[in-house]
Structure 1
């Protein structure tokens, strides 16, 4: 751990639900620990309107950035007017430096068990893609079981802003298709589990230019993580796993990940 902190300029958690209430009693402690281990900042995605309404204040005094979006997991809570609210809030907050993307949005065929539910997800996804295109924002995407469909749609729309596919678990071919569209792939605790052989092969086979590190805290716990909730403090150990898959030193990895981050979220200023 000390070696990681001393030899790299810092790590960034590119997808972290650090505002969730389950972290309220431990947030300050976990962030202090993460900073001691060399984590310099994080990106908090939006998932539903009531939570998005708090993000600007939550991130204001910290080296945190945020995205605004409506997640397919919370589709039952979304109201038609939330899209009007989202567009107005994008207009109001784009003048700041903390809003860097639109999301978390996407398609999750694990959650959608019939055609009606899939069409409902498509409605919210299409609407948010159009907003991201209108306001020239990258997307933060949640995609499960629908990589080919999402890639095809964004290609048809000639979406120009790229973004991040969070918690990527697709194939090497799908990963290359995303990268060709200008997206990078989020990787975190899933690659640490003993049975994740296929995912680690995909991580190793795709260029380092494809990847961003994330925790998805408080979820997506790595195999080595003991506490109930995941934390951005796990990022340095995830970095060590990613470096080993590509046979790189940690300083070289840190430089590449920083470049990936800045290219993916160009509105992001220097962290820290």
Structure 2
């Protein structure tokens, strides 16, 4: 079995000193591909150089390591406060220059929770949401122009994101990163041709709605991700805990994960295997069937 982490921020400073050793661990676990999205113009160069250094570089620090790192360029909705159209132009130029190196536009999206708390940054929720939508619209258009898939961030924003995806009807589609939500919401994305990113949310016992949704969805619609170093695994990652606990609410679970308290276990791409194990525990297919289909799904999005 082979695995791909479809969403990991390997350029984060949390990995800077341990990256060669970490990638060697990934190799031992058959995690052979890692997709690294950018979050702002500040890390475009770092994401691109990381991929160049550690992928296919026979003279580099991992010359015997077959792991491939694939960069993506995009602007995350969390980091828009001080950005304007000149930064979108910067993204456009970077994408054109690196078009043969990147495999997606991402991480992009709309975050409803950020909009609701906009007063803390001197904005109205309406103005903040409009700003997010403007950046999302531009980046979807860029993906369409460059024939690239997208990696989409969501939080309290399914109803805001869906109209944009319907409008653009991207040929290459993409991934709804870190999906959490209802079956109806998932089906809406799948009907548009998108895959859903399955991450640490399913290791939390309170994620009942998301777990039940992932049990019902076609395996052809799913991909694995860690979102490391963010989104740590639950401390209760056995199948029994995930399937039987009835405490709390879905939104409490998402908020708990997103807050990533300092005493939480660190997340890393090696946790992809635990996420795979938990997903397998709620699916009827064999481990081999699941692993093979998940890899095929990645191929469909990025490499066909």
TM-score by length of 2: 0.81
- Residues 180 and 241 of structure 1: is their aligned pair in 2 closer, same or farther, counting only changes over 3 Å? same
Q: Which residue of 1 aligns with 2:194?
A: 183
Asked if the contact 2:4/2:224 (under 8 Å) is kept, the reply is yes
| 3-state DSSP of counterpart to 2:154 | strand
Asked if the contact 1:34/1:234 (under 8 Å) is kept, the reply is no
Consecutive unaligned residues in structure 1, runs of 5 or more: 1-7, 268-272
Q: Which residue of 2 aligns with 1:223?
A: 234
Structure 2 distance, partners of 1:234, 1:209, is 22
Which stretch of structure 1 is more off in the superposition, 20-29 or 115-124? 20-29
Q: Which residue of 1 aligns with 2:16?
A: 24
Structure 2 distance, partners of 1:16, 1:152, is 27
Structure 1 distance, partners of 2:211, 2:165, is 27
Q: Which residue of 1 aligns with 2:151?
A: 140
Report the number of matched residues: 257
Please list the CA deviations of residues 59-108 of structure 1 after superposition, one character each: whole Å capped at 9, or x if unmatched: 01321001100000011242321111211121111123xx1000101000
Structure 2 distance, partners of 1:140, 1:133, is 13
Structure 1 distance, partners of 2:18, 2:282, is 32
| CA drift at 1:153 | 2.0
Q: Which residue of 2 aligns with 1:94?
A: 99
1:34-183 equivalent positions in 2, closer than 5 A = 34-60=26-52, 61-62=54-55, 63-96=68-101, 99-113=102-116, 114-183=125-194
Please list the CA deviations of residues 132-156 of structure 1 after superposition, one character each: whole Å capped at 9, or x if unmatched: 1111110100011111221122212
Structure 1 distance, partners of 2:209, 2:85, is 40
| CA drift at 1:23 | 1.8
| 3-state DSSP of counterpart to 1:54 | helix
Structure 1 distance, partners of 2:69, 2:264, is 23
Larger Rg: 2
Point out which structure has higher relative CO (alpha carbons under 8 A, 6+ apart).
1
Asked if the contact 1:101/1:138 (under 8 Å) is kept, the reply is yes
| 3-state DSSP of counterpart to 2:24 | helix
Consecutive unaligned residues in structure 2, runs of 5 or more: 56-67, 117-124, 238-262
Confirm or deny that 1:237 pairs with 2:274.
Answer: yes
RMSD: 1.6
TM-score by length of 1: 0.90
Which stretch of structure 1 is more off in the superposition, 145-154 or 45-54? 145-154
| 3-state DSSP of counterpart to 2:115 | coil
Structure 1 distance, partners of 2:85, 2:30, is 42
Asked if the contact 1:13/1:39 (under 8 Å) is kept, the reply is yes
1:196-211 equivalent positions in 2, closer than 5 A = 196-211=207-222
Structure 1 distance, partners of 2:189, 2:217, is 11
| 3-state DSSP of counterpart to 1:140 | strand
Structure 2 distance, partners of 1:22, 1:202, is 32
| CA drift at 1:237 | 1.6
